[in-house]
Amino acid sequence: MANILIVDDEAPIRTLLGKIVNKDGHEVMEAEDGVHACETYRDAEIDLIITDLVMPRKNGIEMIMELKKDRPGIKVIAISGGSGFSGQIDLLSVARLLGAKHIIKKPFTVDEIRAAVNDILA
């Protein structure tokens, strides 16, 4: 199956997402922010990134932009419950413009995550 990197500053969300994709046989790696995610992505063979967008140190948008420079074909599912840094920016739309294949608004369902993962990895 696939190696999936889950990036979220909230440990319970990382755990939940990990259980969802692990149940389908995928290997899971975790990162608590974009800085750690970039390091992990460069050091491991990652097939898919599932990332939150609003995080400390390096947010999901910055992380996607940085990783796209080195590997334009990265596969990303962006998840966010916030509207943006200033409250006026739709970060999910920005993530889609940057190449996220799926965008999912929190709160999400197990079926939404599974469908997005299966679609990208098919």
pLDDT tens-digit series, residues 38-96: 999 999 999 999 999 999 989 999 999 999 998 899 999 999 986 555 556 788 999 99
Question: What's the CATH architecture for 3-121?
Answer: 3-Layer(aba) Sandwich (3.40)
**Where along the chain do its domains lie?**
3-121
Give the pTM.
0.93
Share of the chain above pLDDT 70, in %: 94
Q: Taking CA 84 as the corner, what is the angle to CA 78 and CA 88, rounded to the nearest 5 degrees?
A: 130
Amino acid 41: pLDDT:
94
Distance from C-alpha of 94 to C-alpha of 86, rounded to nearest angstrom: 14
Amino acid 103: pLDDT:
96
Long-range contacts, stretch 107-114, CB < 8 angstroms, 24+ apart: 107/81, 108/79, 110/20, 113/17, 113/20, 113/21, 113/50, 113/77, 114/20, 114/24
